[in-house]
């Protein structure tokens, strides 16, 4: 059972739940908000998160699982922020606005 449950958001035109399903495992990177980065560092392997499509759709579309805990974000040239690896668990038949 997951230790924590999180909410992770992405604009679906940038990275959608379907993109994650196609990859089978994705890197949750590019986060530059300090509060969000604190949460990324707190995530543990096996924790679950709701995948929230923001800006377009504005709805929770599925559940994902943290598959690798925080590591230096490869998109951060200054190596100050972290990323996590995630895997899809379940796409909702009916989204939650």
- Answer left, alpha or beta for residue 3, where phi above 0 means left and psi between -120 and 50 means alpha: alpha
Check residue 4 and give its pLDDT. 75
The Cα–Cα gap between 33 and 82 comes to 11
Tell me the two tokens of residue 89: 């668990």
Backbone angles phi, psi at 8, to 5 degrees: -120, 130
Tell me the two tokens of residue 21: 């399903």
pLDDT, tens digit (0-9, with 9 covering 90-100), for 43-53 = 999 999 999 99
Domain that holds residue 68: 5-96
26 contacts 15 by C-beta, under 8 angstroms: yes
Number of domains comprising the chain: 1
Question: What CATH number has the domain bearing residue 91?
Answer: 3.10.590.10
Check residue 12 and give its pLDDT. 94
For each of the chain's 97 residues, which pLDDT tens digit applies? 556 789 999 999 999 999 999 999 999 999 999 999 999 999 999 999 999 999 988 999 999 999 999 999 999 999 999 999 999 999 999 999 9
């Amino acid at each position: 059972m997951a230790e924590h449950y999180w909410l992770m958001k992405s604009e679906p035109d940038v990275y959608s739940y379907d993109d994650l399903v196609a990859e089978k495992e994705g890197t949750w990177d590019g986060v530059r908000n300090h509060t969000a980065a604190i949460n990324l560092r707190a995530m543990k392997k096996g924790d679950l998160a709701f995948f929230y499509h923001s800006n377009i759709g504005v709805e929770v579309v599925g559940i994902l699982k943290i598959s690798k805990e925080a590591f230096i974000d490869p998109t951060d040239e200054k190596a100050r922020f972290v990323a996590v690896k995630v895997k899809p668990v379940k796409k909702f038949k009916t989204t939650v606005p």
